[in-house]
Structure 1
Amino acid sequence: MKRIAALILLASLSANVLAFEPFVASDIRIDGLSRITAGTVFNYLPVNKGDRITNDAAQRAIRALYQTKFFSDVELDRDGDILVIKVVERPSIAKLTLRGNKDIKEDDLRKGLKEIGLTEGETFDRLSLDRVQQELIRQYYNRGKYNVSVEPHLTNLDRNRVAIDIEIREGKVAKIKEINIVGNSAFTDKEIRKTFESNTSNWMSWYSKDDQYSREKLSGDLEKLQSYYMDRGYADFGVDSTQVSIAPDKRAMYIAASVKEGEIYTVSDVHLLGELILPEESLRQLVFTKKGETFNRKAIEASSDAIKSILSSIGYAFAKVTPVPKLDKEKRTVDITFYIEPGKRVYVRRVIFQGNTRTEDDVMRRELRQLEGSWYSQPAIDRSKIRLQRLGYFKKVDVDKKLVPGTEDQVDVSYKVEEQSAGSLMFGVGYSQYSGIILSASVSQNNFLGTGDSFTVGAQRSDYSTSVNASYYNPYLTDNNIGIGYNASFTKTDFGNTNSDFVNYTSSTTAFTTFLNFPITETDNVRAGMGLSSNKIKLSYSYVDTTTGLVQTTSQSPQQLIDYQNAIGHETIHSWTGQLGWNHDTRNGYWAPTRGGLLSANVNVALPGSTVQFYKLDLEASHYWPLGRGFVLYLDGQVGYGNTYGSQTYSRTFGDYKQGANYDFPFWENYYSGGVRDVRGFQDNTLGPRVCVGTTIDPVSGKQVPIRPNANGTCSGSIYNYSQPVGGAFKVLGTAQVYLPLPFLKDVNTARVSWFVDVGNVYQSYSTFKASELRASTGLSLQWQAPIGPLIINFAVPIRSKADDSHFEERIQFTFGSQF
């Protein structure tokens, strides 16, 4: 074909060159130009005015002008001593239309067309259009659509222009009807195909699309087939042949693969050769295949990667480790040799940042663990990437290394980032079943002026709560990453106005805290803080009797709470607080981590001099594990414990609270359980201890006593039929969650769907804990970082509950809008 094309080109060139005697061109004239300027033609022309024009020179000129692809015809003539070049311009593309493409996005198609010169405004080349047609068909074939039709339509327009309309009929994807493995005896088809991406149609194919044929997918499956055998000792396994046939209607595919299993081999010896750099004993600890073990290719590859990793951590950025197995087919053994080529030891000349349009270089550079001028270290580079990702300023962080031109021992490391909004000015309306309508306004910036400092100022109002909050945090008060933060807030909460049967009282809290954050290791930090708060507790429909100085109530507030407040003799609670916390954070992301975990321990203490001296200890352990194919397992466990301390006694006797007895844990500091972010499937804060409203006469003592819940949770004689949750001083919560890879949710940083199981409850104290009282639920959850703020929708079904929980169960829960 190439020879035929060359002959056709030679014939056309010869035909376009008139036979004439050589002459010296006194001038050059170009006829036939309309869009293209004469100057452009002269730039490509290999002859000039004053040159001697021969047949060879004329052919070179024609060839050069054809290669510009500007002209469909070029002809040379002579007018006296003037060289005349007659051209016919190719038409320009006035309009390019794509129709019918759904599987391949139009932007991707137009980008590919532009790369080969088929775009609006460019010169039209019929050969390019033919290549586009064949390339599109090839791409659809790779997607399993063998009945695709690509038809280009050409319309001639005035002024030497054309309009191109590419009509695509994608058709249906060919479905896999059969997959046959021939020659396997050691393992069944089911065992072999367990990891295949290709499969015949099944009840999950609507979601997984595993029955849709793809050449690339089949190639990957054959590689998995080989790995399956070679990881189990079959060192000489091979795929003899594969055959893919298609039905006449191009809708069904039949796949067959013939394999040769071979025999199981054991490792006879392992050698390390080359320039080892490190002591051989140290390197052998990184070799995961040993003499006498069954041959395992995965272990051999892991050994190579481990040796390369340790060498890359001490400067050998381009180290090569090549495993060479030598098979003895008679003894069925394998002798494995690792050839180590460390290459030059290199150091990092420069660290370059790209894409940070807002964030200052210094803010990124202080997160680096790979320093300029030091030896190259892959672990330090990888750790730097994770630290940049966890800032929350960037959608994506990519890292690359390049040798400095002209050197063998210097590299430049570049971090390319894609910035995302780190601040917001928000006016929002939200809703949750617990809070009702939420009105909010806030100004927040997690990367203030690109400095890495963060602040938030906001206000929020719901059916039961009003809050104002202002906070500021500087993560680098000092160069060694000691951070300082401040927070001031005012919150007024009327629990009686919640959309659940919650215990009725009003809390108005004004608080200020400041804290220091100390980094201890790469993944550990300690936070210490001090604060003060004033909390005014007012029971619903209550007043202070001016004669006795005691709190009285007309209705609604539980008698136990009234007695407690009267026993301590205070309506306004003052607290001096101290906080101390420790975090061990190995998560690989900020919004949506996929690996790593968080361990934390925090203690908050109301110091001596506070109205009530108490402490709260909170422990949490969570971890993410990638399961493959986009699935991520998340486990989380939390424990909260509170108690009073020191010598504190009641000044009065009321109900269960006797003068001189030690204080109970204050009810306004209680933990709560249940809700959209807790044990899902139960209303917010409704699990755990409950109290009734009102008093009754004890038939034994004849005294007036608070009404207590019956065995079924009801309150006979109370103004409420059901008891009201009051929380407790001890809380347990456990969550198991699997994040699901859904094809319509491409960006996990924006939205995620998970299947969960929650277990937990809250107890009056640690001594009252009973595992039999734990509640559990399961369901699906959608978390979306919506423009209006975080949105959570849960569908949950309680799978472990008590009869008296039925009033508080909730199948569908949702909340959206900003949260403080």
Structure 2
Amino acid sequence: MKRIAALILLASLSANAFAFDPFVVSDIRIDGLSRISAGTVYNYLPVNKGDRLTSDEAQRAIRALYRTKFFSDVEFDRDGDILVIKVVERPSIAKLTLRGNKDIKTDDLKKGLKQIGLTEGETFDRLALDNVQQELIRQYYNRGKYNVSVDPHVTRLDRNRVAIDIEIREGKAAKIKELNILGNHAYSDKQIRKEFESNTSNLMSWYSKDDQYSREKLSGDLEKLQSYYMDRGYADFGVDSTQVAIAPDKRAMYIDASIKEGEIYKVSDVKLLGDLILPEATMRQFVFIKSGDTFNRAAIENSSKAIKAVLANIGYAYAKVTPIPKLDKEKRTVDLTMYVEPGQRVYVRRVVFNGNTKTEDNVLRREMRQLEGSWYSQAAIDRSKIRLQRLGYFKKVDIDKKLVPGTLDKVDISVKVEEQSSGSVQFGVGYSQYSGIILNASLSQNNLFGTGDSFSVSGSRSTYQTNLGLNYYNPYLTDNGIGIGYSASYSKTDYGNTNFANYSTSAKSFSTYLGIPVTETDGIRVGLGISSNKVNLIPGYSPQALVDYQNQIGNKTIHSWTGTLGWNHDTRNGYWAPTRGGLISATTDIALPGSTVQYWKLTAEANHYWPIGKGFVLYLDGQVGYGKTYGSNGISDADFAALKTATDAARPGYDMPDMRQDFPFFANFYSGGVRDVRGFQDNTLGPRVCIDGSTPTANGLCGTGYYAQPIGGAFKVLGTAEVYIPLPFLKDINTARVSVFTDVGNAYQSYQSFNASTLRASAGVSLHWQAPIGPLIISLAVPFRTQPSDSHYEERIQFTFGSQF
């Protein structure tokens, strides 16, 4: 028997190392396999039965088997005309463990390791492990952690397996001790470093981590430096050199950047060349720099983006705009050419949805403003994304385009969504300082059976209220987006156990309403409802003013036919945590003729979100509520005269006023609380009355020694200024948000009673968290504009958690 032995290390030797007589392979036998199947080897082996095997072909076959990385050793033997292949399999990775990594998440590390084949179940390659070690060290160096150590440990297991344990000691990031910009004369260090992410240690470094060196951060800062100068006319600005030195202990960094400011340039001419598609006069409307202006790179880049956006909205999805500046250093001018390449006009062949395992395709498709078979429009796609995000069904929405293979004028639109829970079955206990302990049970679904309909049935019990509710809404009763909803409820409330005046109610209601879209951002809501509300007052315990009002109305049970008309303008870019856009709304509820009391209420709100840089978001909100009666209410004039005479006789010195046209107290607006003017107890701001009808003192006390009871009013104003703060450890703002705020507001007996000097105000910090048990709101507020009578109702820490219905 002749033996043919070949290892990959001998592949570079001469053919004499494999010298043997060529032979025709009658069969192939593989020895040494345990985990890998023979069929797998045959797939990679470039030798088959019946082939004539030579030394060169044997050498190529060995190389092919080594390239699979399945084997650490390969030998060829010959048994007669049978080719015998002896292999030693590489071990498989049974377990991969990472320890000590904090700066880089384990999941992110494992994804990177998987891309190079170092993952559980794969074949172990020592060389790959060594490369991983060096790559991890490089990544930590980029984060400024030069004390990092990465120690891989390989443990042999039975059945030709290994366990890999990678121990990482990250160490601490090197801190920037000096950051020097050399060569700046036109602007100070403070001016040009204002937007830098890198900085020397300061009072806020514990939060911002800006004193920790990072190669990526420094590169970004130098790009910002270049933009700073080029946006101010320095067209030939340049960074000459950058030197980064590290201290011997690898804990301190010293950075020097040498710059050349150059000169300020003016724009001598702006040309538009290429295939403009639209008239030049139209296109020039989107060029934000003109002849005579100081050179400004930001304006040039924004012009390019604007031109591409205009073309993208009419089908030119791959348009290019190339700014070509030509500098005249003697005259210090720039001749600017904007070269436009629109490319092929494309239309959308197909819109495909991915990731919607629960939601039906048509629910997503009806929100799309980019239609199949129409010209591509970036504006329509952007609007589609916002509409999908505002549904509240999806945690993430990504829309991408891809050319149809073999074409230049067709694209497919891929809409990828990541669904989140849009419904819940909940049994729980909640608590708020307003409602006390809350027992609740609910079944709710905002995306019923994936149809986009919403449905809820709920019940709750607190220290003062029992609620039962049933709601259903179909947002697409018609194809053009008219929605219909139904609502039924029952509640029983004892306001004597709250901060309200002392009375109780028992109410039943049913309503139906239509939602009518007018434009992409505007909608109208019209509704009709019926309700019955029994109001129980107890003379001697309830405020006399409320008892008098009920006697003049002449009915303890208030029946109402209610009409509703509302309008809203919504431009917000998200559902749970918007960062841009706003909401303007106005709603009028009218107790129609035939109701026990005829009145109307107007509520209006305007708010807006502005991103103000570095993850901060400014939120401003203003609300107003106004109510008034109309028509003929209460008992007749003759009955009122008799009632007044009897009351005045029973209470000498008391002159009962005519209250029949007063706004009904059970429909009043209230102010104060965790969702209103924070820092004050819920519903305690505004008019307060004494049980005996006397006037409260400046401290809010009545002649009985008790505090006056809040009853709300027919007019209310509320304003809020809030700044949401980014948290470095929390990337998903839909989970939690922290803010600093100022609230101002109050409720008044009527519009004529409004007095700006009596507005209450507070300031503080707030946490909004979408907790598993339900929304959690915690606020720490300090009232700074108060009246002596408010001291009893101030509340610095306020919170509420669990669902309330």
- Report the counterpart of residue 242 of structure 1 in structure 2: 242
Change in 2 beyond 3 A, CA 1:83/1:268:
same
Distance 2:269 2:296 in 1: 13
Q: CA deviation at 1:48?
A: 2.5
Q: Rate the CA distance shift 1:515–1:160 in 2: closer, same or farther, 3 A.
A: closer
User: Which residue number in structure 2 is paired with residue 349 of structure 1?
Assistant: 349
Post-superposition Cα deviations, 1:514-571, rounded to whole Å, max 9, x if no partner, equal 11111111100111111111111111xx2xxxxxxxxxx2x32111111111122221
Contact between 2:549 and 2:659, CA under 8 Å: does it hold in 1? no
- In structure 2, the partner of 1:549 is none
SS of 2:35's partner is coil
Which deviations, in whole Å up to 9, do the C-alpha atoms of 1:736-765 show, x marking residues without a partner? Answer: 011110123321112111111000001111
8 A contact 1:18–1:77 mirrored in 2:
no
Query: Are the counterparts in 2 of residues 150 and 166 from structure 1 also a CA contact under 8 Å?
Result: yes
TM-score, normalization by structure 1 = 0.93
Answer yes or no: is 1:643 the counterpart of 2:623.
Answer: no
- Give the alignment of 1:242-261 within 5 angstroms: 242-261=242-261
Q: How does 1:331-480 map to 2 (within 5 A)?
A: 331-480=331-480
Cα drift, residue 15 of structure 1: 9.3
- Taking the aligned partners of 1:8 and 1:486, their CA distance within structure 2 comes to 77
Partner of residue 701, structure 2: 714
Distance 1:60 1:196, change over 3 A: same
Q: Determine whether 1:798 maps to 2:783.
A: yes
Q: Residue in 2 aligned with 1:566?
A: 551
Distance 1:452 1:435 in 2: 32
Q: How many angstroms does 1:96 deviate by?
A: 2.6
Tell me, yes or no, if structure 1 residue 330 matches structure 2 residue 326: no
For 1:618-675, what per-residue CA distance to the aligned partner results, in whole angstroms no more than 9, with x for missing partners? 1110000011211111100001001111244654235788687751111111110000
Aligned counterpart, 1:526: 524
Q: Given the superposition, is the C-alpha separation of residues 392 and 34 from structure 1 closer, same or farther in structure 2, using an over 3 Å criterion? A: closer
Task: Find the counterpart in structure 2 of residue 745 from structure 1.
Answer: 730
Residues 584, 605 of structure 2: 8 Å contact kept: yes
Provide Cα deviations, 1:307-350, integer angstroms capped at 9, x if missing partner. 11111111111111111111111111111111011111111111
Distance in structure 2 (CA, Å) of the matches to 1:618 and 1:16: 96
**How far is the alpha carbon of 1:10 from its aligned partner?**
5.0
Tell me if structure 1 keeps the 8 A contact 2:241–2:259. yes
Q: How many angstroms apart in 2 are the aligned matches of 1:447 and 1:160?
A: 51
- Give the 3 Å change call, closer, same or farther, for CA 144–566 of structure 1 in structure 2: same
From 740, 754, 762, give the equivalent of 1:777.
762
Note if contact 2:8-2:66 (Cα within 8 Å) is conserved in structure 1: no
Q: What is the CA-CA distance between 1:276 and the residue it aligns to?
A: 0.8
Secondary structure of the corresponding residue to residue 583 of structure 1: strand
The partner residue of 1:683 within 681, 684, 704 is 681
What CA distance in whole angstroms lies between the structure 2 residues aligned with 1:81 and 1:353?
58
CA distance in 1, matches of 2:392, 2:730: 20
The match for 1:211 is: 211
Contact 1:707 1:718 survives alignment (8 Å): no
Question: Residues 553 and 633 of structure 2 are in contact (CA less than 8 Å); yes or no, is this contact kept in structure 1?
Answer: no
Verify the 8 A CA contact 1:620 1:638 in the aligned structure 2. Answer: yes
Residue 69 of structure 2 corresponds to 69
Q: Quickly say closer, same or farther: Cα 1:78–1:811, change in 2 above 3 A.
A: same
CA deviations on 1:113-143 (whole Å, 9 max, x unpaired) are: 2222222332221111111111111111122
Shift of 1:719: 5.0
Where does residue 589 of structure 1 map in the other structure?
574
- Sort the Cα spacing of 1:661 and 1:96 in 2 relative to 1 into closer, same or farther, 3 A: closer
Change (3 A) 1:680 1:275: same
1:633 partner letter: L
Could you say if the C-alpha distance between residues 181 and 26 of structure 1 is closer, same or farther in structure 2, counting changes exceeding 3 Å? same
Q: Which residue of structure 2 lines up, in the alignment, with residue 812 of structure 1?
A: 797
Instruction: Establish whether residue 43 from structure 1 lines up as the match of residue 28 from structure 2.
Output: no
Alpha-carbon distance between aligned partners in 1 of 2:16 and 2:157, rounded to the nearest angstrom: 27
Q: Does the aligned pair in 2 maintain the 1:458–1:468 contact within 8 Å?
A: yes
Partner of 1:301: 301
1:556 and 1:719 in contact (8 A); partners too? no
**What residue number does 2:562 align with?**
577
* 664-673 or 645-654, which deviates more: 645-654
> Residues of 1 paired with 2:63 and 2:352: CA distance?
46
- 2:496 aligns to what SS in structure 1? helix
Larger displacement relative to structure 2 (781-790 or 270-279): 781-790
Which residue is equivalent to 2:750? 765
**Judging changes above 3 Å, is the alpha-carbon distance between structure 1 residues 240 and 559 closer, same or farther for their aligned structure 2 residues?**
same
Q: State the alpha-carbon separation in 2 of the partners of residues 459 and 102 from structure 1.
A: 45
Report the CA distance between 1:583 and its aligned residue.
0.3
Q: Partner residue of 1:672? A: 670
Relative to 1, partners in 2 of residues 1:569 and 1:37: Cα closer, same or farther, differing over 3 Å? closer
1:604 aligns with 2:602: no
Change in Cα spacing, 1:35 to 1:816, as seen in structure 2 (3 Å) is closer
- Aligned partners of 1:17 and 1:75 also within 8 Å: no
* Cα separation, 2, equivalents of 1:719 and 1:660: 28
Instruction: Return the alpha-carbon distance in structure 1 between the equivalents of residues 158 and 357 of structure 2.
Output: 46
SS in 2 for 1:364: helix
Match of 2:651 in 1: none
How many residues are matched? 786
**Contact preservation (8 Å) 1:563, 1:657:** no
CA deviations 1:571-609 (Å, max 9, x no partner) are: 111111111010000001111111000011111111111
Task: Measure how far apart 1:11 and its partner are.
Answer: 5.3
CA distance in 2, matches of 1:317, 1:453: 34
- Evaluate the alpha carbon distance shift between residue 103 and residue 681 of structure 1 in structure 2; reply closer, same or farther with a 3 A threshold: same
Corresponding letter in the other structure for 1:515: Y
Conserved 8 A contact 2:552-2:660? no
Which one-letter code corresponds to 1:350 in the other structure?
Answer: R
Distance 1:464 1:155 in 2: 65
- SS of the residue corresponding to residue 194 of structure 1 reads coil
Q: Could you tell which deviates more after superposition, 573-582 or 741-750?
A: 741-750
Question: Which residue of the partner structure matches residue 514 of structure 1?
Answer: 512
Instruction: Confirm or deny: 8 A CA contact 1:16 1:74 kept in the other structure.
Output: no
Q: TM-score, normalised by structure 2?
A: 0.95
